[in-house]
Structure 1
Amino acid sequence: MGALTPLAVKIGSISWMPRLLPQIVIVDNAMHKLTGDRYGLLDIGGLPNIELSVPGRKSGVVRSTRLLAVPTDDGAWLIAGSYFGGRDMPQWVFNIRAADTVDVGHRGTTTTMTWRELDGAERETAWATMVDVWPNFDLYVRRTPRRIPVFRLEPATRS
Structure 2
Amino acid sequence: MATTTGRAPKLPPRWLMRGFWRLHRQVFVLSGGRAGIRLPQAGRWGMLRLTTVGRRSGQARAVMLTYQVDGPNLYVLALNGVAPHDPAWLLNLRAQPEASVETSDLNGRSRPVRAREATGEERERLWAASLEIDRHLDAYAAQRPVPTAVVVLEPRPALPG
Smaller-chain TM-score range?
A: 0.7 to 0.9
In structure 2, the residue corresponding to 1:114 is in which secondary structure? strand
Structure 1 runs, 4 residues or longer, greater than 4 Å off: none
Number of residue equivalences: 145
Structure 1: gaps spanning 5 or more residues: 1-11
CA contact (8 A) 1:114 1:153 kept: yes
- Specify the code of the residue in structure 2 equivalent to 1:82: L
Q: Aligned pair in 2 of structure 1 residues 125, 104: CA closer, same or farther (>3 Å)? A: same
In structure 1, the residue corresponding to 2:110 is in which secondary structure? strand
Structure 2: gaps spanning 5 or more residues: 1-7
Aligned partner of 1:90 among 87, 91, 99: 87
In structure 1, the residue corresponding to 2:21 is in which secondary structure? helix
How much identity, in percent, do the aligned residues show? Answer: 23
Q: Does 1:35 align with 2:34?
A: no
RMSD between superposed Cα atoms in Å: 2.4
CA contact (8 A) 2:55 2:92 kept: yes
Under a length normalisation based on structure 1, what TM-score does the superposition of the two structures give? 0.79
Under a length normalisation based on structure 2, what TM-score does the superposition of the two structures give? 0.78
CA contact (8 A) 2:37 2:47 kept: no
Deviations 1:76-123 (A, max 9, x none): 111111012121211111000011311011122311011221111111
Alignment of 1:103-114 (within 5 A): 103-107=100-104, 108-114=108-114
Aligned partner of 2:20 among 24, 28, 31: 24
* Structure with the higher fraction of residues in helix conformation: 1
